[in-house]
Amino acid sequence: MNILNQAFKTPYTTAPFSQINNEDFLPAVKAEIQKTKAEIDAITSNPEAVDFENTIEALEFSGEHLDRVTSIFFNLNSAETNEQIQKLAQEISPLLSEFGNDVRLNEALFKRVKTVWEEKDQLSLNPEQKMLLDKTYKNFSRNGANLPEDKKATLRNIDMELSKLSLKFGENVLAETNSFELHITDENELKGLPESALEAATDEAKSRKKEGWVFTLNYPSYIPLMTYAENRGLRKKMSLAFGSKAFHGNEFDNREIIKQIVNLRQQRAELLGYKTHAHFVLEERMAKTAEKVNSFLAELLEKAKPAAKREFSQLESFAKETDGIDRLEKWDGAFYTEKLKQKLFDLDDEKLKPYFKLENVIQGVFTVAKRLYGLTFEETKDIDKYHEDVKTYKVLDENKKLTAIFYADFHPRAGKRNGAWMTIYKNQYKRNEENSRPHVSIVCNFTKPTSSKPSLLTFNEVTTLFHEFGHALHGMLANTTYPSLSGTSVYWDFVELPSQVLENWCYEKEALEIFARHYETDEVIPMEYVKKIKESATFMEGMQTLRQLSFGMLDMSWHGANPKDITDVKEHETNAFKSTQLYPETSETCMSPAFSHIFQGGYSAGYYSYKWAEVLDADAFELFKEKGIFNKEVADKFKENVLSKGGTENPMELYKRFRGKEPQPDALLRRAGLIGSK
């Protein structure tokens, strides 16, 4: 029998990766869909009077094993993919899309759900049950349950097509990332690059059976070259390659796919009675409306733009003085920003990296989690994994009781998409007197160890690790009854709060002293460096804010208005970027064809949420700063009202319960140095 269709007889019922063959996935998914259909049929044919337990709860716990199988499959498709998995994804995604619609468009099932929903005021439901009922009803009503049959059929076709297109989008970006290499054989071309970057490039060349140095578009290879290479021509070549992924007019070009995706999303929204895709999405967000998002972005733009212009002018003058550069281009930004930062603060990543050995930073984030939330992480070898690089841990609470299983996957490889993310292999939930604990994973693309050095992280990689670990804590500390309300299953513009708030500890002396130790001498990071990290934290913050706002505004330009008249992707993007543009335009590059967050991930009409959550996290961290960054009382309040509650209540109510008031945007502007302190 297919291993995937059985209860997993593994430690803690973890995914049995080593026993799974790729060809197991398609038949397993088909079999689990049939099982889940039988569970749905049992609900709709139940002769007893319709109630919350036999309809809403029964539906909530249906398809549990289907969720597990598909989570394994799609996580592998992101972290350890190959041609066979990608081909399977093109078959499996439409099946799941069709099945999802079979459920949401099942009239008998919706009739039962609607009956409970209409009686909700007479039922004695607790807040979590009310939220589950509301979410379940909206999952039907917002996805076509009230539509006539012909429109339901149209919706099914749209959803199936969208599932295929977003997969293809991601495959194209990965193919373009993997197909590019910059092969250098003359060391003189690489002046300015630190030894660590050269060693990594040598290792990359050797792995490809080449002499010299090879640089790729993976972040640990790309960013050092853009930051330190004195050869402006090389920086330009890399910048144009990075900025033109899936924009080459070849088989991997994503422009037509983008137009198809945004138009299908618009059709879907109109079919369901919404003005645009953004209006549909934002109804279930803290922001609520496209108008509110646009005014939020515009307000931050107004406050950040003067600072950004001043910073850009400062950078231009510095580049001219230093190297006689008359016109600052995109490929000059990171290089001269780093040079100016070194001049002003006498600080650079190469000075800091020896203090950020990956293993020490991991232990550091574990210690922070222990001091805040009482968690202990024990590495274990008896949990199966999908790649030898993956580390596995048992997470225990203060009473040595299992809280979660944690997977961590840190380095780039050909089968892994770029970036960093947190994901879940198994949700937490409570059922039959048991609190079933979650299996949580973080996936990153950090600097690899070389033949002579361990993995030494840039400071940006340190904050990325803390960020993803903040998401992981949200998953690990979940304590809800229902899996669909557990952990990170919250409004999208609330989900970044736990991740972004944890980044703040990276800037605090008390936290840095725990893990920032020289990898050779074990010397704690000098306090002068800590001081400079703090001072430089807001360096070029205006430009950085403008960059984030530009992505949010690009997202809203694709999804906040009818896209039917957009014929040229590049032209549309150029117009969307006009109010945030500082660098000269380059005709060879276009961001949208590789903007995976909004065309492959779940951030469509939601990219603004990074900035939205920054408002929350800056406001939340002010309380920690006020009481002490390891204050148990504040940590307990955050755990109780945010981390453990998942999506069981309205996020603003949860936030106010933690903070005692609504968040103040000024906290973010103060932290960014864009307005004065209190």
Q: Say if residue 13 is in the same domain as residue 102.
A: yes
Q: What is the pTM of this model?
A: 0.89
Cβ-Cβ contacts under 8 Å for 153 (sequence gap 6 or more)? none
Q: What is the CA radius of gyration of the chain?
A: 25
What pLDDT does residue 257 have? Answer: 98
Q: Say if residue 387 is in the same domain as residue 438.
A: yes
Residue 678, burial from CB neighbour count under 10 angstroms (0-12, 13-18, 19+): exposed
Handedness of CA 409, 412, 415, 419 (dihedral sign): positive
Highest mean pLDDT: which range of 260-269, 601-610, 660-669: 260-269
For 207-230, what is the mean pLDDT? Answer: 96
What pLDDT does residue 676 have? Answer: 65
Q: Say if residue 134 is in the same domain as residue 52.
A: yes
185 assigned to some structural domain: yes
Q: pLDDT tens-digit profile of 338-396?
A: 999 999 998 888 899 999 999 999 999 999 999 999 999 999 999 999 999 999 999 99
Alpha-carbon gap, residue 3 to 19, rounded angstroms: 7
Alpha-carbon gap, residue 639 to 478, rounded angstroms: 9
Closest CA to 72 of 24, 37, 39, 104: 24
Alpha-carbon gap, residue 424 to 416, rounded angstroms: 17
For 636-663, what is the mean pLDDT? Answer: 96
Question: Does position 594 have pLDDT exceeding 90, yes or no?
Answer: yes
What pLDDT does residue 451 have? Answer: 85
What stretches of 45-148 show up as alpha helix (H) in DSSP? 58-60, 64-79, 83-104, 107-118, 127-141
Residue ending a domain, among 192, 208, 243, is 243
The torsion angles phi and psi of 185, rounded to 5 degrees, stand at -115, -10
Q: Can you tell me which residue has the tokens 């968690």?
A: 375
What pLDDT does residue 39 have? Answer: 98
Alpha-carbon gap, residue 163 to 90, rounded angstroms: 8
Q: Say if residue 37 is in the same domain as residue 142.
A: yes
Q: Say if residue 362 is in the same domain as residue 486.
A: yes
Q: Say if residue 230 is in the same domain as residue 131.
A: no
Question: Does position 678 have pLDDT exceeding 60, yes or no?
Answer: no
Looking at the structure of the chain, the number of domains it has is: 3
611 assigned to some structural domain: no
What pLDDT does residue 674 have? Answer: 76
For 527-554, what is the mean pLDDT? Answer: 93
The answer to whether 392 and 405 are in contact (CB under 8 A) is: yes
Q: Say if residue 224 is in the same domain as residue 373.
A: no
CATH code where residue 96 lies: 1.20.1050.40
Q: pLDDT tens-digit profile of 1-36?
A: 799 999 999 999 999 999 999 999 999 999 999 999
Domain of residue 191, residue span: 180-243
Return the active site residues: 468
Q: Say if residue 186 is in the same domain as residue 136.
A: no
Lowest mean pLDDT among 474-488, 626-640, 659-673: 659-673
555 assigned to some structural domain: no
Q: Say if residue 447 is in the same domain as residue 528.
A: yes
Q: What percent of the chain has pLDDT over 70?
A: 100
- What average pLDDT does the chain have? 95
pLDDT class of 136 with cuts at 50, 70, 90: very high
Residue ending a domain, among 533, 558, 592, is 533
Strand partners, 429: 436
Q: Say if residue 210 is in the same domain as residue 126.
A: no
Residue ending a domain, among 197, 218, 243, is 243
What pLDDT does residue 673 have? Answer: 80
659 assigned to some structural domain: no
Closest CA to 544 of 642, 631, 463: 463
pLDDT class of 534 with cuts at 50, 70, 90: confident
For 456-477, what is the mean pLDDT? Answer: 97
Bridging pattern class, strands 402-409 and 439-443: parallel
For 319-336, what is the mean pLDDT? Answer: 97
What pLDDT does residue 210 have? Answer: 97
pLDDT class of 677 with cuts at 50, 70, 90: low
